[in-house]
Amino acid sequence: MEIEAPFDQHRAEVLPEWIDYNGHMNVAYYVLAFDQATDAFFDYIGLDEAYRRNTGGSTFAVESFVTYQQEVVQGDPLRFTTQLLAHDSKRLRFFHRMYHATEGHLAATSEWLSLHVDLNIRRVAPMPPALQDRLADIWEKHRNLALPEEAGRSVRGLELPG
């Protein structure tokens, strides 16, 4: 299987139920859309339903951060790219970009940290060697991609008192 750099296979559309009182996509649905992009990336990696069923392994999201770049509205087609930023035997750090699929503008970004978990004991556990090898292959293609400007962000703008 050819390795894309970045991964560029997930598509979606802004659904009517995703629209808020401002007439654009509500913040909660950005997370849902990025979660669906995560599922597509994980299927590509091999962290799919068959993997979960056969190994009892899965992932838990432990951190995520969303930036909102330009609004999208009902019916807008969306295209997602995913870049592997780092990985080790128990963790994956990756970055999604959400684009308006026809106009091409960047709508939002999201960075995630996920842990590999053994669901039988509900604890963090190393991924099997075959999965680690797959991630190493993807990393070889993604390591030379530019680090996204939004990667590593935290909430900024209005300083906390004290």
pLDDT in tens, 125-142: 999 999 999 999 999 999
**Tens-digit pLDDT profile for residues 9-28:** 999 999 999 999 999 999 99
* Alpha-carbon distance values, 116 to 92, 113, 127 (Å): 8, 10, 6
Distance (Å, rounded) from C-alpha 10 to C-alpha 44?
11
117, 59 contact by CB (below 8 A): yes
Phi, psi of 56 (to 5 degrees): 75, 10
Alpha-carbon span 8 to 107, nearest angstrom:
15
Ordered by start, the domain boundaries in the chain are 7-142
Mark the ranges of the chain whose per-residue pLDDT is less than 70. 1
Distances (CA, A) of 120 to 17, 43, 58: 36, 21, 10
Contact criterion met (CB below 8 Å) for 9 and 67 = no
pLDDT for the residue numbered 45: 96
What pLDDT score was predicted for residue 34?
Answer: 98
Out of 3.90.79.10, 3.10.129.10, 3.20.20.80, 3.50.50.60, select the CATH number for domain 7-142.
Answer: 3.10.129.10
104: left (phi over 0), alpha (psi -120 to 50) or beta: left
Q: How far apart are CA 51 and CA 161, in angstroms?
A: 47
* Per-residue model confidence (pLDDT) at position 86: 98
